[in-house]
Amino acid sequence: MLKQDYILHVQPDTNSLNRTAADYWLAQAIHSIECYGSFHVALTGGSSPIELYHLLTTTEYAEKLNWQYIHIYLGDERYVPHNHADSNFGMARKNLLDHIPVPVENLHPIPTSYEQAFEAAVKYEQTLQQYLPKDPNGFPQFDLIMLGMGDDGHTASLFPETEILQQFDKQVDAVYVQKLASWRISLTYPCLNHARQIMFMVKGENKSEILKQVLTENSPMQYPVQAVLASEQTHWFIDQAAASQLDSSSD
Ligand code: 6PG
């Protein structure tokens, strides 16, 4: 049986998947601006959201939003300069941010110019404290966090067997990912799970096995992504290939 905590959107092809995800993104932005006066969203890196970012730059979406009330962050970052080919902020700039009228002061990239990645994590935590609205307990809260999922079950930069998985005191931390031989900065579980809404974009057959485990009730906790759940709703936008091992008869 599939978990009831999640809202699943399985689409037959990439175009309808991107459109469904873009419609949801737009609805969340409009809702947050109407209800709270602003929309605070963390973008994801990876390849899955690129076409969604393109869609959001089109008049059909971009003109429906007042970008002045939208604040944009990153959920994780590779510790390279923003103009490096691996930079998540660089990717977001190229595919989305350079093409929408969002004020530059509303952009909150993860800094990558400190000598130590840990210093950048501390700075970003301060940025979240400064700009994010607070929940009723005073905890900084995103309206929406966008995430992907790697074929090892990582999400943001929460990789299997890394220390950041045990980080419950900070909202942002640095993590050295051995298998990539590189430093990353990531939002931690407490920060992710305080978000009102989380949206995952997952494409491709290579994710289907893990996805089955993540979305199925009572499956053993094996992958970092399994411990992510938003405070209000967690949506999964999945293509048919990634959903191929889900047992629809037991929905
Ligand atoms: C990153 C990400 C990462 C990504 C997954 C999925 O910086 O790489 O934020 O968590 O979302 O690796 O990536 P794909 O969308 O390319 O499959």
Ligand 1: atom nearest CA of 155 is 10
Q: What is the pLDDT along the chain (251 residues), one digit of tens a residue?
A: 898 899 999 999 999 999 999 999 999 999 999 999 999 999 999 999 999 999 999 999 999 999 999 999 999 999 999 999 999 999 999 999 999 999 999 999 999 999 999 999 999 999 999 999 999 999 999 999 999 999 999 999 999 999 999 999 999 999 999 999 999 999 999 999 999 999 999 999 999 999 999 999 999 999 999 999 999 999 999 999 999 999 764 33
Residue 144 resides in a domain: yes
pTM: 0.97
The structural domain count of the chain equals 1
Residue 246 resides in a domain: no
Mutate to test the pocket of ligand 1, among 76, 82, 202 (most ligand atoms within 8 A of CB): 76
pLDDT of residue 38: 98
Residue 167 resides in a domain: yes
CB 81 within 8 A of CB 114: no
Residue 209 resides in a domain: no
pLDDT of residue 249: 44
Q: What's the farthest any 2 CA atoms get from each other in the chain?
A: 53
Residue 231 resides in a domain: yes
CATH number of the domain where residue 59 is located: 3.40.50.1360
Tokens of residue 56, six digits? 């959001």
Report the Cα–Cα distance between both ends of the chain, in Å, rounded.
Answer: 6
Which structural domain range is residue 225 located in? 9-204+219-239
Q: How far is CA 24 from the centre of its chain?
A: 14
pLDDT of residue 137: 92
Residue 93 resides in a domain: yes
pLDDT of residue 247: 76
pLDDT of residue 248: 61
Q: Ligand 1: does its nearest atom lie under 6 Å from the Cβ of 46?
A: yes
pLDDT of residue 64: 98
Helix (H, G, I), strand (E, B) or coil at 47: coil
Cα 215 to Cα 212: distance, rounded to the nearest angstrom: 5
Residue 19 resides in a domain: yes
Tokens of residue 165, six digits? 């998985």
pLDDT of residue 250: 39
Residue 3 resides in a domain: no
